[in-house]
Amino acid sequence: MPALRVQAKKKTSGKDFTTRQTRINTMEEPMTSSPSWLSLSLAFRCLTILVFCFPLFAANIYPTAAHEAPTSVISDLVGSVRPSVVGIYMRGLLDPDQAASRTGPPQIYEQVGTGSIVSSEGYIITNKHVVKNAYHIEVTLYDGTHTKGQVLGAARNFDLAVVKIPKSGLPAVKLGDSNQVKVGELVIAIGNPLGLQQTVSAGVVSAIHRNMGFSDFDDLIQTDAAINPGNSGGPLFNSDGELIGINQAIYTIGAEKGSIGLGFAIASNQARYLFDHVQTGSTDQGVLGASIQRLTPELARASSSDRVTGVLVAEVLPGSAAAKAGVQAGDIITRFADQTITDTSQLNRAVVRSATETKNLSFERGGKEINVSVFIPETSEPTIIPGQLPGPRLTSLKDVGLELGAKDTGEVVVGSVVDNSVADVTGFKTGDIVLAVQNAKITKASDFDAAIAKSISDKVPGVRILLSNQKGRRWVYLALTE
């Protein structure tokens, strides 16, 4: 299954952009099997499929200055921070509305990503897209321990989410100050590309404060450290072992999906902001009430301005903070809270952090600068959105997405499997022979129905099922409840 991609026409605002034959890939790795993704057999199966289709995955042919750093420096750094990096397996709903309406078997998907322990009490930061519509989260710690996780919340404005696991005394990362990041400094990325746990790559900071259009609040660190599908949500460390970024996406060319040395990480200060809000339950985010866009040289000249920085106001909402301050459509906002404004994301981030405060605002109109004070109210929209959904309700074979029949020999055979259903993700294949549920032999379809119905009635979380086909026998785990 190909990696989830953010793909659209190039545009000046919105969540994604590409030019022709160019793609931005978020880096979670969708899975086509059960949580046994943690085994080497699954990792190699994923790798084989993707290397076959995308040869660039086979090697990183883009050397960086970081490769010249003393091996002992990188090795010691990696050894000190790896215990704080976790693997995340999720199972989620492709269409929550469809699952709720029960119009056919729930459509589900599963994928792997990465996270960082940010508190010894079991709080983990990852990308929002890694746990999107999740109803089941499984976290794998550095020592191989598996534990269930719960998505506490996700940021409305950022691609960030917080997962909690029932563990304490965990090794936590040290959150660095992303405002101190410098272009050219050494960085280390750790994650689970293609399900290969605890993979390490090294590189440098290629650029800072990138705005790639993923959101209206982008503040991205660009790096040439190799990151691939499965790295999403994982840490980007500096040479002091501090987390300075959350790996989010890669920039690729043509049909390839692997790293070409253009990766992007969300600045750690945004991660700290989200974590603080989740811990305190605070919902304070400021709103200016103006729609803004990038100021091009042509638009500046047409606005009687010789400015090369600032943002152009497209619309002002009636009664908003911007309207009360006298801002009008066509104005060029040049400064806010004593900061020179260079792009839309910078202003959006500054306003969000200014709730219930009065700030200085400067804007230009007709070539003349106007300075005012503006009170920033709290937004009425939630800062943190619910992170985890209830699992699909399974009460019958139809809900599982499975249809059984009988062979002339009396064997119970899988007649069909609904695409993206629980049965499909579990690993059932059309033509499989069902031999046993748990330890009970299955000799007719009604035996299977009865065994599953009893397990559901007893609220058993899942059962093991023995299947057989031309390749031999295998057990699969069918999750029934969450």
Q: Which sequence positions are flagged as catalytic?
A: 129, 159, 232
- Composition of the chain by helix, strand, coil, percent to 5: 25, 35, 40
* Sign of the CA dihedral running 200, 205, 208, 213: negative
Q: Which residue is associated with the tokens 């086979």?
A: 58
Q: ∠ CA 232-121-170 to the nearest 5 degrees?
A: 70
Number of other residues whose CB lies within 10 A of the CB of residue 104 = 13
| Token pair recorded at residue 471 | 């390749």
Kindly give the pairing relationship between strand 108-119 and strand 123-126: antiparallel
Among the listed residues 246, 283, 253, the one whose alpha carbon sits nearest the alpha carbon of residue 267: 246
Q: What does the DSSP assignment read for 132-178? A: TTEEEEEEE-TTS-EEEEEEEEEESSSS-EEEE-S--SPPPPEEP-G
Give CA–CA dist 223/207, Å, rounded: 7
Looking only at the bridges linking them, the beta strands covering 85-93 and 134-140 are: antiparallel
Contact between 451 and 440 (Cβ < 8 Å): yes
267: Cα separation from own chain's centroid: 14
Q: How far is it, in rounded angstroms, from Cα 376 to Cα 273?
A: 18
Can you spell out the DSSP letters for 209-224? EE--SSSTT--EEEE-
From residue 362, alpha-carbon distances to 24, 176, 335 in Å are 35, 31, 5
Q: Tokens 């990151």, residue?
A: 227
Element (H, E) at 129: none
Residue 408 φ then ψ, to 5°: -60, -25
Q: Where does 379-478 have alpha helices with state H?
A: 397-400, 422-426, 445-457
What does the alpha-carbon distance between residue 300 and residue 297 come to, in Å, rounded to a whole number? 5
What is the SS3 assignment for 90?
A: strand
Rounded CA separation 142/139 (Å): 10
